[in-house]
């Protein structure tokens, strides 16, 4: 189970129709139903892996310490197995910045996960694109952001909780 962070696990901060990560641990809000969904996935044998783009560290909008504190809190609070983060700004020299599949492929190798038997759940076109590139089944959580839409996700839902029956049905 590959999951984006902001908008899937925790509430994204939406400004002008676009999602942004929380600016601090105090601003972090885990979305309703996430803990229950992750427990259910784990009970069915899924490994819960977060794959998140965090370019704000590189651009100086936040610090690595803040991002690490958010990840530490999520790992302590939720049944997550690992968090993979790309701190790059999108460009040709980075293979992990979604929609490229590098983070998913790295996690799959480390956790001995078959991507073809996995899901990628995300709230942006980049998440769906990375899942498709890694050959995962894709689930798009549609918040109606004012940005590019994903091309052909396998399923579209309103929350991770809404994705549960699809995922648990295989």
Q: Provide the pLDDT for residue 42.
A: 97
What is each CA distance from 93 to 58, 96, 100, 137, in whole angstroms? 14, 9, 11, 26
What is the per-residue pLDDT for 133?
A: 98
Torsion of CA 149, 153, 157, 162, to 10 degrees: -150
95 is a catalytic site residue: no
Q: Which of 6, 56, 72, 81 is catalytic?
A: 6
Q: According to the model, what pLDDT value does residue 170 have?
A: 78
The catalytic position among 4, 16, 95, 151 is: 4
pLDDT, position 113: 96
* 123 is an active site residue: no
> Which residues, in sequence order, are CB contacts of 43 under 8 Å at separation 6+?
none
* Residue ranges in the chain modelled with pLDDT below 50: none
Q: Residue 121 has which token pair?
A: 């759940």
Looking up residue 98, the CATH number of its domain turns out to be 3.40.50.1000
CA separation for the pair 10, 117 (Å, rounded): 25
Provide the number of structural domains found in the chain.
1
pTM of the model: 0.96
pLDDT confidence of residue 91: 80
The answer to whether the CB of 5 falls within 8 A of the CB of 38 is no
| pLDDT score of 90 | 85
For residue 30, the model assigns a pLDDT of: 98
Cα–Cα distance measured from residue 84 to residue 105, given in angstroms and rounded to the nearest whole number:
11
Domain enclosing residue 49, as ranges:
2-169
């Amino acid at each position: 189970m590959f999951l984006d962070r902001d908008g899937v696990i925790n509430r994204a901060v939406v400004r002008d129709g676009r999602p942004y990560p929380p600016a601090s641990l105090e601003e972090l809000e885990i979305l309703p139903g996430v803990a229950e969904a992750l427990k259910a996935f784990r009970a069915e044998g899924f490994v819960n892996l977060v794959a998140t783009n965090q370019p704000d560290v590189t651009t100086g909008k936040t610090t690595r310490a803040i991002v690490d504190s958010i990840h530490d809190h999520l790992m302590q609070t939720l049944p997550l197995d690992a968090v993979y983060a790309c701190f790059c700004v999108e460009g040709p020299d980075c293979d992990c910045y979604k929609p490229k599949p590098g983070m998913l492929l790295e996690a799959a190798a480390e956790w001995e996960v078959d991507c073809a038997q996995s899901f990628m759940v995300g709230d942006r076109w980049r998440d769906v694109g990375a899942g498709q590139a890694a050959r995962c089944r894709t689930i798009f959580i549609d918040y109606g952001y004012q940005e590019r839409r994903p091309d052909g996700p396998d399923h579209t839902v309103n929350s991770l909780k809404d994705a549960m029956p699809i995922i648990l049905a295989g």
